[in-house]
Amino acid sequence: MTATGSRMQRTKGYDPEPMDVPPLFQSPPRPLSMVRWLLTKYMWPQSAAWIALAVLVHHVFTPSLERFASLGFDDVGLLWLRNTVMMVLIIGGQHWWLHIRRSQGTEFKYESRWLARNRTSFLFDNQTRDNVFYTLVSGGGIAALYEAIMFRLYANESIPQLSSLWAIGAMTFAVFWIEAVHFYLNHRLLHVDPLYRWAHALHHRNVNTGPWSGIAMHPLEHVLYFSLPFVFLLVPGSPFIATFCLVYLMISPSPSHSGFDRFKVGEGASLHGGDYFHNLHHRYFEVNYGMLLLPLDKWFGSFHDGSIEAHEQMKARRRAAD
Ligand SMILES: [Zn+2]
Ligand SMILES: [Zn+2]
């Protein structure tokens, strides 16, 4: 990717190079580079890991479909328990590695300060405890309820279902694009008052984010955010795709909100970590509502690529709106 402007310099913290939209959406579009970008930058390693995790969770740690034909509270409870264990291990693991053990110090960290303690705006006056509470209780619970509803509909053959492995595989990749639209739409809606005040402001208390901030949301936001699998009430999907949608929505925000642009994996080696695009949304609110995969923000004028030029444009938009 080519940088589009000069890099912003934070006084305290790490600023990556400015971002560009994926090659397909540059002018002129570069379809071949897009394929390379998808395989090497987008899928590897995170998106591939979410698919592998969903396969494991669905085939090893999820009860069989017959159980859900007559849905009970115990079925939702089981999925909730499964979600809790998964999130404690994966999100908690990142939090422990990066924020408790501080394994890479503040290297690649967007903000040099650490997460907030003794801050009354957070539940229990502690950012991490607050974030864990909303993630496990409301997030894990609503995701479990939605997955159980989808399983019930599949068990009773009430909704269209894909049967071939190829079609399920192709649809799994399509989910990333479908979510890019779904997330942009529900996120834009959440920035409109009173929804912002009632619900989304709770997520935005986290300006300096950590892995547990990813889905630390108001239950009303969880109701919207996790609604992705309901696309498959109309579009043919499968029980695995329902699990994949929810695993992806529960887990992928943890590295993206981790606070670190890259994760060090050895001396001089690092992997793609945080999502600078979304980090700028937490810093400046009215930019980057969507995902970089499908640059709806670029097309609708709210793109901030991390350059000084984009920053000046954002400030001019704000002045014009006042
Ligand atoms: Zn966020
Ligand atoms: Zn927002």
- pLDDT single digits (tens) 208-217: 999 999 999 9
Q: How many A from CA of 256 to the centre of ligand 2? A: 14
Q: What's the CA gap between 105 and 31, in Å, rounded?
A: 39
Query: Cα–Cα distance between 214 and 172 in angstroms, integer?
Result: 22
Q: How far is the CA of 164 from the centre of ligand 1 (A)?
A: 35
Ligand 2 centroid to Cα of residue 289, in Å, is 6
Say what the pLDDT of residue 9 is: 64
pLDDT at 3: 46
| Confidence (pLDDT) at 11 | 58
Nearest ligand (C-alpha, residue 290):
2
Q: How many CA atoms lie within 13 A of 115 on its CB side?
A: 26
Q: What is the DSSP string of 28-82?
A: S--HHHHHHHIIIIIIIIIIHHHHHHHHHHHHHSS--GGGGSS--HHHHHHHHHH
pLDDT digits (tens, 9 = 90+) for 174-195: 999 999 999 999 999 999 999 9
Counting ligands in written order, the one closest to the CA of 257 is 1
CA of 283 to the centre of ligand 2 (A): 10
Which residues have C-beta within 8 Å of that of residue 112, sequence separation ≥ 6?
12, 13, 106
H-state helical runs in the chain = 31-37, 48-60, 73-95, 127-133, 140-155, 165-190, 195, 201-204, 219-225, 239-251, 253-256, 276-284, 296-299, 308-321
- CA of 212 from ligand 2 middle (Å) equals 16
Measuring CA to CA, how many Å separate 7 from each of 17, 23, 207, 209?
A: 6, 20, 20, 21
Ligand located closest to 284 CA: 2
Q: Which amino acid is at 30?
A: R
Angstrom CA distances, 33 to 41, 50, 153, 212, stand at 11, 23, 40, 34
Residues of the chain with pLDDT under 50: 1-3
DSSP 3-state of 104 = coil
Query: What separation in Å is there between the alpha carbon of 294 and the centre of ligand 1?
Result: 17
- Which pLDDT does position 184 carry in this prediction? 98
CB 30 within 8 A of CB 317: no
Ligand 1 centroid distance, CA of 316 (Å): 24
pLDDT at 72: 86
pTM of the entire structure?
0.95
Place of tokens 């309901």: 230
- Nearest ligand to the C-alpha of residue 190? 2
